[in-house]
Structure 1
Amino acid sequence: MKHSLTRLLRLCAAAVPVLGLFAADAGAQSKTPLLVYTAIETDAMKAYKTAFEKANPNIEIRWVRDSTGVITAKLLAEKANPQADVVLGLAASSLALLSQEGMMLPYEPVGFSQLTRRYSDQKQPPAWVGMDVWGAVICYNTVEAKKLGLPKPETWKDLTKPIYKGKISMPHPASSGTGYLDVTAWLQMWGEAEGWKYMDALHENIAQYVHSGSKPCKQAGAGEFPIGISFEFRAHQVQRSGAPIDLIFPKEGLGWDIEASGIIKNTKKLDAAKKLVDWMASKEANQISSTWWAIVAYPGVAQKMEGIPDNYESMLVKPNDFEWAAKNRDRILTEWSKRYNAKAEAKGS
């Protein structure tokens, strides 16, 4: 039986309007429309769509886009009557949950053997196939910190020091995949007792839990809060835009997840769905991913990014058990919300 939190999320998700749905153009009647649910950053949606449709002119991607938590809840709410054909760019921890619920169609795409195996589902054939890795980072506004006399933190545990009280924003783990990868990393790194103890102490210094993994770094860049817990792609983008932030990669290790793709079982567009998943496994798609991500599934394609350390991949927390994170999602989010939800940002803010 699902916990009340998941039931609430499902009800909310069912009421969420379709976001980011690309309308068919006048000449699209002869194309196969493929309904694709995604949590990828809007920066990437157009690039993937344009390149895929150029290679597959008889297929049209129609996006439904929202945050990881909302898309996950929406898919679960639609379990008895699935609407999506493909899930693209959703967190592996969410796709593992959908797979456990029997909603994913195992499929090994063309060219799968070329990809880094540990960044996809370990079952054979895989229920989901990795695109790229995203990991935790702290965004630290050097100008605001100097004004406030805030030292530069070096570790996760530094963030519990009283000097940072009210100065930190973090993603809400029920809404944001980045927030959830932080929470599950701390619980795996330190064990559950110490992990919750750490989050209790961190909570004392949190100003706000926001419903986006990007927003804390944007807030830090704008000086709204001097410190934001975010992820490396957005941190790199904010820094490149000229914001006075340093990127901090805490020494204990970085929580991380994988953006991945998979086919929804019982899709009526199976051939088109396979073509999209095949294409997402291609070198071309991975080259597009490497525009934003420091680690992609296709070896040798990733580019060096300013501000991202050369040993970034080795800093990722290991092991990172996505099956455990999926199986315990309801329990973890229920406990987290009971303890910390009082500081959650209002929806729609």
Structure 2
Amino acid sequence: MKSFSIKNVRIFATGALLGLAVCSQVQAGEITVYSALEEDEIADYLAVAKKSLPDIEINVLRLSTGDLGARIIAESANPQADVIWGFAVTNMADKKIISQLEPYKAANSESLPAQYRAEDGSWFAATGYMGAFCVNTEVLKSKNLPMPQSWADLTNPVYKGEVVMPNPASSGTGYLQIAAIIQGAGEEAGWKLIDDMDGNMAQYTSSGSKPCKMARAGEYAIGASLSFVAMKSVEMGYPISMVIPSDWAGYELEASGLVAGSKNKEDAKKFLDWTLSQEAAEVYAKYKAIITIPGSKPSEMATAAGLPENLSEVLYPVDFAKSAMERPEILKKWSATTAK
């Protein structure tokens, strides 16, 4: 079991140890936060948060998106969390989860563009992540392959066996990619594109970051992955070019909200307010391609990798409610399409 502390912050990577913390009576100045953010970024964010919230002990349970959703639903009759933090909005939209949230308009939330917050105040998203291709320029050169610019390009037979992407059934990144394709191209054309790309796929991975890591290691020419991993790979000196697909660049928002059954709502609200602060935005830049807080600037790493400053120009306007509702049917059809 992996756990560590940051003075007034405790982070647990699994549910077992957290149970010891939340089964005891929660005192004023102590909150329990459920999150799907990565452990390293949680640690950095909270190291900053504790300076603004020195009197609040923040206990964080970190689980993968799927596991966290299942836990929230399982605890619906007796909620154990005060706050849900950094959870995929596509999953947050599940009626069994969204019904457990109490509308709260956190400080600065109304300054967010409308697409980054619920109209009723049940959730807001300070950050998000987007898909991108990690293209190994050395492999392209050695095999005389053209630089891909779009999903449609990946159907070109010259890329056969040179493309890897995440399995949407196990990876949120994989799902946001195919959801954007289907919504952008339309049902018939979208599924035809996915079917045509399947002919070139070397494999589907369980992780959203793995395709980029495989591409930067030279195992394959192209990894359909996350923009952050692409930017980090460029910064680390790998022969990687980040390509934002010119047709349908999918993305996901990381939503936060107040749990209706919270036993310590005032401190929970203070924490939610902090997640939209400028000091939070500054540390988000170390990890996020998408920061929705007005006035946020891209990091030097993002600029060096070529991330556009105005992401609205490249992101496909995903209908998250539609994406959530159609998920079971899309995954079923994807499995049938790629099972050949």
TM-score class normalised by the smaller sequence: 0.7 to 0.9
Deviation of the 1:83 alpha carbon? 3.2
Which residue is 2:105 aligned to? Answer: 108
Which residue is 2:325 aligned to? Answer: 327
3-state secondary structure, aligned to 1:328: helix
Q: With structure 1 as the length reference, what TM-score do the two structures score? A: 0.83
3-state secondary structure, aligned to 1:229: strand
In the alignment of these two chains, the number of paired residues is 320
Which residue is 1:182 aligned to? Answer: 177
Amino-acid identity (%): 39
Deviation of the 1:35 alpha carbon? 2.6
Deviation of the 1:311 alpha carbon? 4.5
RMSD value, Cα = 2.7
Which residue is 1:290 aligned to? Answer: 285
Paired residue type of 1:271: E
| Structure 2: distance between partners of 1:179 and 1:20 | 31
Q: With structure 2 as the length reference, what TM-score do the two structures score? A: 0.85
In the alignment, is the contact (CA less than 8 A) between 2:92 and 2:98 conserved in 1? Answer: no
Moved over 6 A (4+): 19-24
3-state secondary structure, aligned to 2:294: coil
1:203-222 Cα offsets, whole Å, 9 max, x none, are 22222222222221112111
Which residue is 1:264 aligned to? Answer: 259
Specify which of 83, 86, 107 is matched with residue 89 of structure 1: 86
Q: More displaced, 70-79 or 196-205?
A: 70-79
| Structure 2: distance between partners of 1:67 and 1:41 | 9
| Structure 2: distance between partners of 1:301 and 1:22 | 37
3-state secondary structure, aligned to 1:109: coil
Q: Measured at CA, do residues 37 and 226 of structure 1 come closer, stay the same or move farther in structure 2, by a change above 3 Å?
A: farther
Which residue is 1:35 aligned to? Answer: 32
Paired residue type of 2:251: W
In the alignment, is the contact (CA less than 8 A) between 1:19 and 1:66 conserved in 2? Answer: no
Unaligned runs of 5+ in 2: 1-12
Q: More displaced, 327-336 or 70-79?
A: 70-79
3-state secondary structure, aligned to 1:136: strand
Q: Measured at CA, do residues 64 and 100 of structure 1 come closer, stay the same or move farther in structure 2, by a change above 3 Å?
A: closer
3-state secondary structure, aligned to 1:286: helix
Specify which of 167, 180, 185 is matched with residue 172 of structure 1: 167
In the alignment, is the contact (CA less than 8 A) between 1:35 and 1:86 conserved in 2? Answer: yes
1:178-216 Cα offsets, whole Å, 9 max, x none, are 212111111110111221111111122222222222221
1:36-69 Cα offsets, whole Å, 9 max, x none, are 2222233311111112222212322223223333
Q: Which structure 2 residues correspond to residues 60-209 of structure 1 after superposition, within 5 A?
A: 60-98=57-95, 102-121=99-118, 123-124=119-120, 126-209=121-204
Specify which of 276, 282, 287 is matched with residue 281 of structure 1: 276
Unaligned runs of 5+ in 1: 1-15, 344-349
Which residue is 1:233 aligned to? Answer: 228
Q: Measured at CA, do residues 99 and 261 of structure 1 come closer, stay the same or move farther in structure 2, by a change above 3 Å?
A: farther
1:158-183 Cα offsets, whole Å, 9 max, x none, are 11122222222212223322212111
In the alignment, is the contact (CA less than 8 A) between 1:132 and 1:296 conserved in 2? Answer: yes
| Structure 1: distance between partners of 2:200 and 2:112 | 41
Deviation of the 1:248 alpha carbon? 0.9
